[in-house]
Amino acid sequence: MNEQVTQRQPARERILDSAFRLFYAYGPRGVGVDTVIAESGVAKATLYKHFPRKDDLVLAYLDKVDQAWFGQLRAAARAAGDDPRTQMVGMFDALSSGCRREGYHGCAFINTAAESETGTDVHTRTVEHKQVVRAFVTDLARRAGAADPELLARQLTLLLDGGLASGVLDVDPAAPAAAKAAAQALVDIACPAA
């Protein structure tokens, strides 16, 4: 067997990687299935074998984004130490790396939600991601002793989303640090040190 063929990614992964690049850059609505097929180098039948509907491909894309972004948030929180107070602030370090990468176009979930109909599988998946992130932050807030963990989590996740949007709108390298400072102020108010 040709070595080049054996090193090639499986068709499903090529399709998903191509969709990931294209959907993130242009939005799922802005990319046709034929473009994904051409970019991934698969036959139309192969794409539809793995993803019977375009929405199935969009959902797989969102799952891949979720693994990456939520993984970065959790890693940044863990890197800040064991104290949930510092973890809530530390997760904002994920903004710095996320917003500075080349080709950054903001939050894939917010972007996809903006172009999808409420009640569709795709829109529901975007909402689910935001709920999972908020639940993670709520748990940290609860463990940190916040009087109202749900409120603090809502405030911090709104701040995260604003930081993600700022990375596109004003491309200010100081924006992630400003978001982190605001997070620190919120945490200090909501979770006084013992």
Note the pLDDT of residue 100.
Answer: 65
Note the pLDDT of residue 165.
Answer: 85
Note the pLDDT of residue 6.
Answer: 35
Note the pLDDT of residue 7.
Answer: 44
Domain match, 73 and 102 both: yes
Residue partners of 129: CB distance under 8 A and separation at least 6: 62, 66, 70, 109
Domain match, 87 and 141 both: yes
Task: Give CB contacts under 8 A, 24+ apart, made by 159-164.
Answer: 159/92, 159/183, 159/186, 160/73, 160/91, 160/92, 160/95, 160/133, 161/107, 161/110, 161/130, 163/92, 163/95, 163/99, 164/95, 164/98, 164/99, 164/106, 164/107, 164/110
Domain match, 27 and 105 both: no
Domain match, 37 and 87 both: no
Tokens of 45: 């039948």
In whole angstroms, give the CA distance from residue 184 to residue 53: 44
- Final residue before a domain boundary, out of 52, 69, 87: 52
pLDDT digits (tens, 9 = 90+) for 112-131: 999 999 999 999 999 999 99
pLDDT digits (tens, 9 = 90+) for 35-48: 999 999 999 999 99
pLDDT digits (tens, 9 = 90+) for 52-110: 999 999 999 999 999 999 999 999 999 999 999 999 999 999 988 776 667 778 889 99
**pLDDT band of 1, cuts 50, 70, 90:** very low
Domain match, 30 and 76 both: no
Ranges 23-27, 97-101, 156-160, 172-176: which has the least confidence: 97-101
Domain match, 6 and 72 both: no
Do the beta carbons of residue 7 and residue 28 sit within 8 Å?
no
The CATH number covering residue 94 comes to 1.10.357.10
Domain match, 36 and 111 both: no
Domain match, 105 and 177 both: yes
Q: Is the C-alpha dihedral spanning 129, 135, 138, 144 positive or negative?
A: negative
Q: What's the whole-number mean pLDDT along residues 24-40?
A: 95
Residue partners of 58: CB distance under 8 A and separation at least 6: 19, 23, 28, 112, 122
- Final residue before a domain boundary, out of 36, 52, 68: 52
Domain match, 63 and 124 both: yes
The CATH number covering residue 6 comes to 1.10.10.60
Domain match, 62 and 124 both: yes
- Structural domain span for residue 27: 1-52
Domain match, 63 and 40 both: no
Q: How many domains does the chain have?
A: 2
Is the pTM higher than 0.75? The answer reads yes
In whole angstroms, give the CA distance from residue 138 to residue 154: 8
Domain match, 177 and 88 both: yes
CA proximity to 65, closest of 4, 128, 129, 11: 129
